[in-house]
Amino acid sequence: MRKKTQLMIATMLFSTTVAVSQMKVRDELPEKYKWNLSDLYATDEAWRAEKEKIQQKMQEVTRYQGKLTQSAATLLEALSFNSTLIKDMVRLSSYASMKSDQDTRVTKYAGMKQEMQQLFAEYGALTSFMEPELLTLQEEQLNRFFTQEKELTTYKFYLTDLLRKRAHRGSEEVEKVLAYSSLMSGNAANIFSTFSNAEFPHAEIDLNGERIKLNPANFALYRASEDRNVRSKVFETYFRKLNEFQRTFGAQLYGNINAALFATKARKYESTLQRALDDGNIPTAVFHNLIKNVNGNLETFHRYLNLRKRMMGLDTLHYYDLYAPLVEKVDLAYTVEEAVENILKSLKPLGTDYINVSKKAFNERWIDMYPNEGKRSGAYSNGSAYDVHPYILMNYNGKYNDMSTLTHELGHTMHSYLTNKKQHFANADYSIFVAEVASTLNEELLNDYMLQQIKDDKTRLAILGNYLEGAKGTLFRQTQFAEFESMIHDRVAKGEALTGEDFDQMYLELTRRYYGHDKNVCIVDDYIKSEWSYIPHFYYNFYVYQYATSFTASTALSEKVLRGTDEDRRRYLDFLSAGSTKYPVELLVDAGVDMNTSEPFDLTIAKINKVMAEMEAILTRMGK
């Protein structure tokens, strides 16, 4: 999920939304609902010219070889050259990636993405001398350089962090090999993405007299149907189709784990988990404590599942019931225009400046809103084009969850925007560990705003239920994913060869434990074993646990933003502007939450139980 004439927001609010069913061909979409990638490059030809220019320019980096530690001035010059070049390369990569994502079937843009992977690998090889040379710096010499060249302090965090990881860096030759290995290390993820988004033969089913291709966007839409027969049919059809390619998906995921294991051994880490967390200097205990805490509170999760069963009037809850509306005959459908209006009003606690930039995102085509044939599924914010602005990819289907996803991605976008404005490019990135704080806090602000507007019991139940859906999806579900990752990585590290059948078995057993299948809390049908095979995050290597930790952090911070002082809000906005100037755990402490303690998790569980208690009271009052 990371890194122009302004229209009045009222213009958007009164425009007509085109029905999702008509949004099948990209050319038919109104321009205002498509992102404007010409802000990056006017044309593909301009992109090509810039790439060729950078390809020539990057050869000059070799002039610094053997000279990095000679003087503070030379070191500053080399780091500045490197930073500027990477910034321009990332912009190129962003364009190619987003062009490809808007229609993954277009081979031209898939090829441009591959060109960028090759370019980064080539540059990585050219700069393979840098870190080994920098690692010869001693602390006294580095401090002297900082005194001699004040501008060098821009790179202080990078340099001191590099020295911290000295034991995990190799010789120049080793670093060169590792740089070239990137040409192969991403192959499993690339094949998965291409196959899943562009070539997978999605099943077609008859729903209400209409023939529907069950692609990811339609699966997300129809799994939320109020008709239980539709939900059951959609789930079974979708996952059984996935299972037809169990061997292929299994080989891809196993290959990805082996690539991570190679890098782990080459970098001299004890485990793939340790390597993944070390970039942010995050102890592995944070990961293990999350899994331990969630497993210790599965009763709270099961309370939610039993509440859902009660609200839906079911004798038995099935996995395919988990995305259905909680309350019958409550219209929680929102046009894009209604969603924008609600989101902007919900962001009032964050101040006028925050809202004004959010309006620019909605009005100046930073967002690709609707699904179209071949478009990448899901949603993300790309804030990596430092000199331009962030972009958002959506697949908006008009449900409350889509409105919530939109403000979620807007949170990422604002995090990137504020960091890019405040920090030098060298410090403008931010750890995945803190990335989900801004997004989930935005969701909490939206829920709080909607609850203030709605007093009707049924609708209020639906909004409160949406918060629980977020808790289910972000805290419990993502922790389950993290535990699955831990299991499969551990088994491969022990020398086991895993197949799609192995992944099926492990995933089904774990899912049934989390959802209380054996206790009859929620029945997890056999075909759910295939769910792992369509989740792209398993190719990100220990990414998903950070959704859960961020959820707990944002729960604590949202209370400060909503009900705290102006100083609390200022500290939060400062956090959004801090980039990578400190380690993520330290940044959160500055914002007002300490992830070294169990307090954020305990507060989150307490809030979840409080919400459920209110919902149970409403149901009792309604005689249900």
Q: Is 179 helix (H, G, I), strand (E, B) or coil?
A: helix
Element (H, E) at 367: strand 367-368
Element (H, E) at 212: strand 210-213
The strands making up 367-368's β-sheet, listed across from edge to edge, are: 367-368, 391-393, 380-382
Ramachandran class of 306: left when φ > 0, alpha when ψ lies in -120 to 50, beta otherwise: alpha
What's the first-to-final CA gap in the chain, in angstroms?
A: 41
Nearest to 608 by CA among 469, 480, 481: 469
Q: What residues pair up with 333 in beta bridges, in sequence order?
A: 399
469 counts as catalytic = no
Nearest 5°: CA angle at 8, between 436 and 387? 50
Q: What is the DSSP letter of 270?
A: S
Residue 469: phi and psi, rounded to 5, are -60, -40
Counting every residue, how long is the chain? 624
The token pair at 58 is 């990057």
Cβ of 383: how many Cβ atoms within 10 Å? 28
Question: 567: buried, middle or exposed (CB in 10 Å: 19+, 13-18, 0-12)?
Answer: exposed
Chain CA centroid to CA 264, Å: 23
Residue 496: phi and psi, rounded to 5, are -80, 140
Cβ of 422: how many Cβ atoms within 10 Å? 15
Please pick, among 409, 443, 483, 485, the residue that the annotation labels catalytic. 409
Catalytic residue positions?
A: 409
